[in-house]
Structure 1
Amino acid sequence: MGKDGGNLHIELNEHGQVIGSEGTRLSSKLGVLARNGILAPLNHKDWRLVPSMYKDRIWAHIKENTDATDDMKHILMMSFRSKWK
């Protein structure tokens, strides 16, 4: 996900918005992941109906490729959800 295969650095402001030089790259990468039908199946009409095993797999992928912490999960998964479908 990151430059040269490294992890993306994620910074959040006081409003929970991604900021910093990697913010745009993160948004782009989340969009690419959201269109991956294997990682995030597109056959569900509503994000709330996507089984948690897929959501856990998505979060694991984000954590493996960024320096995201567990307290960022809600914000990053909301961002992912908005890009899904």
Structure 2
Amino acid sequence: MQRPADAASRLLMATGLGLLLATGFGLQQQMLDINKVGIGWVIGISGLLLIGLSSLVAKGDGPLAKAYPLENEIEMASRVKEDVEEIEKDTS
């Protein structure tokens, strides 16, 4: 089983690269103009942001560090067990 941070990092990196690829195709087809800033550049900028966010998640830093922690299988199993025990305690 892979760590949550690794899975999230790969997903963010792939999405960012896909958006950069779409920007490249837009430039190649002359749908985007280098000399003129337009709404189409949001796609490329979003791609760069996702790639940067991916590297932060892989290191365990950034705004998504709490949602996607760097933990091994033992730590994850322990955390899930504690969560289940807490939920069972709350329902009784």
TM-score by length of 1: 0.30
Higher strand share: 1
TM-score by length of 2: 0.28
